């Protein structure tokens, strides 16, 4: 990404690096304390929104969305999905953009705020003080939880990308292997149970999707699949499991509570007008998933028509492999199929890597914020080591039982941990830090908002979004069920133990960090009620430096650039 830098010095004070760039080095202030490395920023407004689309629109929308929709009643699933995208997706985006841009920090450091409650609603007594301390230290670990959740996602996301690489290689044949049924791996009904990712993050993929949709709806029998997809079975809405899966899909595809949105917004200029992005991103994300579903279900209807199956739901046993079957099937129906197939899977690889960049940046930037003088000086080496470790951890998913391990990862790592993290995040920001205070922070960067907009966003953060997330969390616990084989039998009991251990890896940091903070401040528990000095310094420096920008550009950016320039 193109990023810029500028630094200045105040008389008799330490160096202050403005949020327009990167000093390129770690240094010490005049008092001998460590000076934070200035954060590099997006050099153009369009880079931020394109990076957001590249991060959010893709794997969750085109590969995961179709089979989750099919498994949960088809058109009925779209109703809770749209509701959660509007009342959870948009508020979470606005909230995380505010936090990231206001602090200029990664999730690991951005949650190091601790409000000192005042006023008639918080009487000063021992019980209240202990409650404040417990609340204050618990949310510091949220950043660590997001970092670990992103690292777990990278493990099995790499495997999906490996499938795409395989299919790209197989596409360099004029006679595509999936066009015939005489392969050794074909099932008796000529279906494959493998899986593939279809990743859509930039304008070019929409061209491919449009081609697939047009071709799909013109195939015989496509109406069977489209009817299943677009005609809701309203009785399905009484099943709370569908609502849970819809909420999980929103968090999986859009990316809140993973840390990526906070990380990327932390590279914004302080005065960037992100309010439009917070609304635009969920609409693009949700719209892409629904549009991609037209291609998948029209082609699935055609496949059911060829097999003489009237119930499209009978094909849902293919699970994660549904999109893998549908997209190659559509490409095989287009003249010059091998060329289209090569271009399509090559595009998926580049877009998948784009998401990996953003997810990996969440991990590396968090650790570099914690250790700027060690990791920060060796970013390339540290990034390589991180990728290598993720590669080794993913080897378990390419064993003979790798498909089942993958299902366990997808069943436990995503729904359980992310819903818990999201629930805690919205409670922490809305009730502990304060929804009104968070909106005031947004106004500091965006300028004054109307009274209606203040009430609108504060109401969403304070009432609507927490109610939705708590409802989903409780429903998820009540309706828990282990993953199933295609014949309906549950996975062995040990896989449930493994899955819950996997989910807990991103939850344990929250209480663990709380205990560490209490131990560190055991001689002065009042410190637990105050923001950490680094958090105060980061927000103060970004605010002061924003006032030094002389030439305002569109979206509040500055043309004044000195120092290292673009990198």
**pLDDT at residue 94, rounded to an integer:** 95
Asked whether 187 and 193 are in contact (CB, 8 A), the reply is yes
Q: Which CATH class is domain 42-527?
A: mainly alpha
| pLDDT recorded at residue 25 | 39
Rounded distance between C-alpha atoms, residue 527 and residue 129, angstroms: 12
Coil, strand or helix at 183: coil
Q: Which residues contact 432 (CB under 8 A, 6 or more apart)?
A: 115, 135, 136, 139
Q: What is the pLDDT of residue 417?
A: 86
User: Is 351 annotated as ligand-binding?
Assistant: yes
Is 447 labeled as ligand-binding? Answer: no
Q: Is 563 annotated as a binding residue?
A: no
SS3 490: strand
The verdict on whether residue 54 carries a ligand-binding annotation is: yes
- Which helix (H) or strand (E) covers residue 132, if one does? helix 126-138
Question: What is the end-to-end Cα distance of the chain in Å, rounded?
Answer: 8
- Whether the Cβ atoms of residue 200 and residue 43 lie closer than 8 Å to each other: no
Q: State yes or no: 279 annotated in a binding site.
A: no
Q: Which of the residues in the chain have pLDDT under 50?
A: 1-36, 115-137, 185-186, 189-202, 550-567
Is 145 within 8 Å of 417 (Cβ atoms)? yes
User: Cβ–Cβ contacts within 10 Å for residue 418, how many?
Assistant: 25
Query: pTM of the predicted model, to two decimals?
Result: 0.76
Domains of the chain by residue range: 1-41+532-567, 42-527
Chain segment 137-166, per-residue pLDDT in tens: 456 678 888 888 888 888 888 888 887 787
Helices then strands, each counted (H, E), the chain: 23, 4
d(C-alpha 104, C-alpha 41), whole Å = 9
- pLDDT at position 550 is 37
DSSP 152-172: HHHHHHHHHHHHHHHHHHHTS
101 and 445 in contact (C-beta within 8 Å)?
yes
How far, in Å, CA of 376 to CA of 105, rounded? 14
User: Please, where are the H alpha helices in 310-450?
Assistant: 322-332, 337-370, 379-393, 402-408, 415-427, 435-446
Q: Are 561 and 4 in contact (CB under 8 A)?
A: yes
């Amino acid at each position: 990404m193109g990023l810029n830098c500028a630094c200045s010095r105040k008389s008799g004070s330490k160096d202050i690096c403005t949020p327009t760039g990167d000093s390129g080095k770690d240094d010490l202030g005049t008092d001998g304390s460590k000076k934070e490395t200035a954060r590099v920023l997006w050099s153009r407004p369009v880079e931020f929104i394109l990076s957001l689309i590249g991060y959010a629109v893709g794997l969750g929308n085109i590969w995961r969305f179709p089979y989750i929709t099919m498994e949960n009643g088809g058109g009925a699933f779209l109703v809770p999905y749209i509701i959660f995208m509007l009342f959870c997706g948009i508020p979470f985006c606005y909230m995380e953009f505010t936090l990231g841009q206001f602090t200029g920090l990664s999730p690991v450091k951005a949650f190091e705020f601790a409000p000192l409650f005042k006023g008639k609603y918080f009487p000063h007594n021992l019980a209240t003080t202990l409650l404040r301390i417990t609340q204050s230290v618990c949310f510091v670990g949220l950043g660590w939880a997001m970092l670990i959740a992103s690292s777990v996602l990278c493990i099995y996301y790499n495997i999906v990308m490996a499938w795409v690489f395989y299919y790209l290689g197989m596409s360099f044949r004029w006679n595509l292997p999936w066009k015939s049924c005489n392969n050794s791996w074909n099932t008796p009904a000529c279906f494959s149970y493998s899986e593939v990712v279809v990743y859509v993050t930039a304008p070019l993929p929409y061209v491919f999707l449009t081609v697939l949709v047009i071709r799909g709806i013109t195939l015989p029998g496509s109406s069977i699949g489209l009817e299943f997809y677009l005609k809701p079975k309203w009785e399905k809405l009484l099943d709370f499991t569908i609502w849970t899966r819809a909420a999980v899909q929103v968090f999986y595809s859009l990316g809140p509570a993973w840390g990526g949105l906070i990380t990327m917004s932390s590279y914004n200029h302080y005065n960037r007008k992100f309010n439009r992005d917070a609304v635009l991103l969920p609409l693009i994300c949700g719209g892409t998933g629904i549009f991609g579903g037209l291609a998948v279900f029209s082609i699935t209807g055609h496949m059911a028509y060829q097999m003489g199956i009237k119930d499209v739901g009978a094909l849902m046993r293919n699970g994660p492999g549904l999109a893998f079957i549908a997209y190659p099937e559509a490409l095989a129906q287009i003249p010059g199929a091998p060329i289209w197939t090569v271009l399509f899977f090559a595009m998926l690889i580049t877009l998948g890597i784009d998401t990996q960049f953003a997810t990996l940046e969440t991990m590396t930037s968090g650790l570099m914020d914690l250790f700027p003088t060690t990791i920060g000086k060796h970013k390339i080496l540290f990034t390589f080591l991180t990728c290598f470790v993720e590669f080794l951890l993913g080897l378990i998913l390419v064993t003979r039982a790798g498909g089942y391990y993958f299902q366990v990862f997808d069943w436990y790592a995503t729904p359980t941990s992310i819903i818990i993290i999201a629930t805690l995040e919205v409670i922490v920001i809305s009730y502990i830090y304060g929804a009104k205070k968070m909106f005031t922070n947004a106004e500091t960067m965006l300028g004054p908002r109307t009274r209606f907009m203040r009430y609108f966003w504060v109401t969403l953060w304070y009432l609507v979004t927490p109610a939705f997330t708590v409802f989903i969390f409780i429903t998820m616990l009540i309706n828990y069920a282990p993953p199933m084989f295609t014949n309906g039998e549950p996975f062995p009991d040990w896989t449930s133990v493994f899955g819950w251990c996997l989910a807990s890896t991103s939850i344990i940091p929250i209480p663990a960090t709380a205990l560490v903070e209490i131990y560190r401040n055991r001689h002065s528990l009042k410190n637990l009620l105050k923001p950490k000095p680094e958090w105060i310094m980061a927000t103060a420096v970004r605010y002061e430096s924003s006032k030094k920008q002389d030439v305002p550009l569109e979206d509040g950016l500055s043309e004044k650039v000195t120092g290292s320039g673009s990198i």
